[in-house]
Amino acid sequence: MKTIAFAALMILASASALPQVSDLNQRRDVVEVILDVIDKVREKIQDGYDPYVLEKAEGSYRFPIPGVFRARASIEDLIVTGASNIVVEDIGYSVMTNKLTFAVAIPEIRVSIGRAEAEVAFLGRPSHRGFLDGRLAVTGLRISGELNVEVDDRSKASVSDVVISTSLGGIESGIHVNIIGYDLSGYVNNFLNKSLPTILNNNADRINRILEQVLTFLLNRIL
């Protein structure tokens, strides 16, 4: 009899420790909503932006007073690929804490420029020209974090307490830059390959705070 009573108590304790059906449904619903948002972002980027192809664009500006300042710029064969390849590495929601944890990544974004030119002249002096072409790849872009998601009786979700951590695998730049006859390719590529990732890493906290505000605003508008 004691054995039966003990077994019954164990069953009751195990049952109470298991998530309730409503909790499971809520957890599933919140995760599915976030996954749906990610899918819509992915589809939006794919719809005309991945690949993004710009055959040619040009523009010019001339100061109203003749001879003071004029400028002209053009770009040809700009191609951007990989922006829609958003990979969900991890996502989960706790009903007990209302916390959603996530980690998403974009493995690689590639940019190719056939040719870009710029020409400026000021105070009646001869114009100065510059051009660039080449390729650039941004690799290992990753965003992880957590946020508080509360769902009211009308199934309306609100987001708060967003905490984000960003990381960048690296930048691979192979751009040819020439300004007024000087080849600056080495300086530009060194800055993009080495200096810029360091600058971004040193300012990661500030970047994360900005992204937290943006993500909070966007999710509360969408959900």
| Domain range list for the chain | 20-222
Pairing of strands 69-81, 128-151: unpaired
The partner residues of 112 in beta bridges, in order of sequence, read 79, 135
Exposed (0-12), middle (13-18) or buried (19+): which is 97, by Cβ within 10 Å?
A: exposed
Residue 102 CB neighbours (<10 A): 20
Of 22-36, 99-113, 124-138, 199-213, give the lowest mean pLDDT range. Answer: 22-36
pLDDT in tens, 19-42: 443 444 555 677 888 888 889 889
Token pair recorded at residue 194: 């080495």
Task: Give the residue among 115, 93, 90, 119 at the shortest CA–CA distance from 105.
Answer: 90
**Position 147 pLDDT exceeds 80:** yes
The partner residues of 158 in beta bridges, in order of sequence, read 150
Q: pTM of the prediction?
A: 0.77
Task: Give the residue among 88, 92, 98 at the shortest CA–CA distance from 143.
Answer: 88
